[in-house]
DNA sequence: GTCTATAAACGGATAGAC
DNA sequence: GTCTATCCGTTTATAGAC
């Protein structure tokens, strides 16, 4: 894959880039976006500000790379889980895999939050809920459920529930996110899929 | 009420403080926390940076005052609505008043988001969900519902749903947040209160 | 009460040495 | 490929005039 630098990357370059993306995610996660300055990123990586800017043309490019990395990991996991499940179980698979994936990657969660609140162009809200809305529609069709439901709102409620569960398990590691996800699945089944 | 400055405030001081809190909320809402610098706040208020720091000892103090203002308005509205409703209708009243209040105050929403993501000490997550959890418990008792439910998770799902609805209506003013709130009420009734 | 002036630190980014 | 050195803008905050 050609890189953002317009040529192929050497192995060491690739490794450095990956390391920089990694420390960026960590810094954003632990101390917030504002604290993730070039200086601190460089320090965490063991090089200097200028060194960082050799690998990425600007701080924004680095942050975007970090954001992309996090999103790619998420969609890969969740996409596979949803496809593995049948249409009738799509929403449940989505909920379980989202909660499972994010619960195991607290640093990714912070990164996603910052990206969303910073009005990131990458995070089209519609992109998220419309995919979930289709899962809901497909599940209702597969189950032969009659009646009308606003699938957009249904999707938003599912997404909001997931966010809340993940956020809580981030704050309190004792919180049983898996059980909460099962409750959400049940509520969705009873309230939206029947 | 004695002020943070350790004495009573004159009327003009009070007015200035209120104005500064107001422009702070507006700036945070429109351009994000990072863009709400002392300089821009001062400019928006028609005075200078030093002038701002006469009224508030630091930028952080000003931001905290703005945050408190927003939270106070929210809890006053929602608290009244919940008390006006009976125990059986507590969760529904909570959902409707939260969505209604925040939908009418988009700037407050942004302020709240920034406060939460900035790891504000003021926003004890437990403080929010435990109050809602009690509403759920009371409603179940008032309705004579049997069976066990994790009220903490129930409260989190309600809160997450509200957040998602409000966020969406913030992004798309065409979105029917009131109808979405009714869907959430219905889902809660069917999935958590029966 | 609000101003000017200024300090001191930090932000991202560039040039050029090695 | 990474460093030193530097630039320039911006930030919060203070001192002291008016």
Domain CATH number, residue B175: 1.10.357
Are both A112 and A25 inside the same structural domain? no
Kindly state whether residue B141 falls inside one of the protein's structural domains.
yes
Are both B107 and B178 inside the same structural domain? yes
| B32–A157 C-beta distance less than 8 A | no
Given a cut of 50, whether residue B129 has pLDDT beyond it is yes
Are both B144 and B179 inside the same structural domain? yes
Q: Which pair of structure tokens corresponds to residue A110? A: 């912070």
Nucleotides of C strand lying within 7 Å of any protein CB atom = 1-5, 10-16
Whether B145 and chain A come into contact, CB under 8 Å, resolves to no
pLDDT on residue A2:
46
Q: How many domains does chain A have?
A: 2
pLDDT tens per residue across span A109-141: 999 998 888 766 556 778 889 999 999 999 999
- Confidence band (pLDDT; 50, 70, 90) for A49? very high
Whether A190 and chain B come into contact, CB under 8 Å, resolves to yes
> What average pLDDT does range A97-103 have in this prediction?
98
Are both B56 and B74 inside the same structural domain? no
Are both A172 and A84 inside the same structural domain? yes
Give CA–CA dist B38/B24, Å, rounded: 9
pLDDT tens per residue across span B33-89: 999 999 999 999 999 999 999 999 999 999 999 999 999 999 999 999 999 999 999
pLDDT on residue B123:
64
Kindly state whether residue B4 falls inside one of the protein's structural domains.
no
Greatest pairwise CA separation for chain A in angstroms: 62
Are both A186 and A117 inside the same structural domain? yes
Give CA–CA dist B49/B46, Å, rounded: 10
Spatial distance from the CA of A46 to the C1' of D7 (Å): 24
Whether A109 and chain B come into contact, CB under 8 Å, resolves to no
Kindly state whether residue B169 falls inside one of the protein's structural domains.
yes
Q: Which pair of structure tokens corresponds to residue B108? A: 């407050």
Spatial distance from the CA of A104 to the C1' of D10 (Å): 38
pLDDT on residue B121:
55
Given a cut of 50, whether residue A16 has pLDDT beyond it is yes
Kindly state whether residue B1 falls inside one of the protein's structural domains.
no
User: Of B44, B62, B80, at which residue does a domain stop?
Assistant: B62
Are both A107 and A31 inside the same structural domain? no
Containing domain of residue B18, as a range?
A: 11-62
Helix (H) or strand (E) holding A139: helix A125-143
Give CA–CA dist B112/B117, Å, rounded: 9
Are both A148 and A184 inside the same structural domain? yes
Are both A32 and A115 inside the same structural domain? no
Kindly state whether residue A2 falls inside one of the protein's structural domains.
no
Kindly state whether residue A168 falls inside one of the protein's structural domains.
yes
Q: Three-class SS of residue B47?
A: coil
Are both B29 and B74 inside the same structural domain? no
């Amino acid at each position: 894959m050609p890189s953002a630098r317009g040529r192929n990357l050497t192995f060491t370059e690739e490794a450095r880039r990956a390391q920089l993306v990694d420390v960026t995610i960590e810094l954003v996660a632990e101390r917030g976006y504002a604290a993730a300055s070039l200086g601190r990123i460089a320090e965490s990586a063991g090089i200097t500000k200028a060194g960082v800017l050799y690998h990425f043309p600007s701080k924004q490019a680095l942050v975007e790379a970090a954001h992309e990395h996090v999103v790619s990991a998420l969609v890969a996991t969740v996409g596979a889980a949803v496809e593995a499940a049948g249409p009738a179980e799509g929403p449940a698979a989505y909920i379980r895999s989202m909660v499972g994936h994010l619960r195991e990657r607290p640093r990714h969660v912070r990164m996603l939050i910052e990206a969303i609140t910073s009005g990131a162009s990458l995070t089209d809200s519609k992109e998220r809920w419309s995919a979930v809305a289709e899962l809901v529609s497909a599940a209702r069709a597969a189950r032969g459920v009659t009646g009308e439901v606003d699938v957009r709102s249904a999707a938003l409620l599912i997404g909001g529930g997931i966010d809340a569960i993940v956020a809580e398990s981030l704050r309190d590691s004792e919180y049983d996110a898996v059980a909460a996800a099962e409750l959400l699945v049940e509520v969705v089944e009873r309230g939206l899929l029947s």
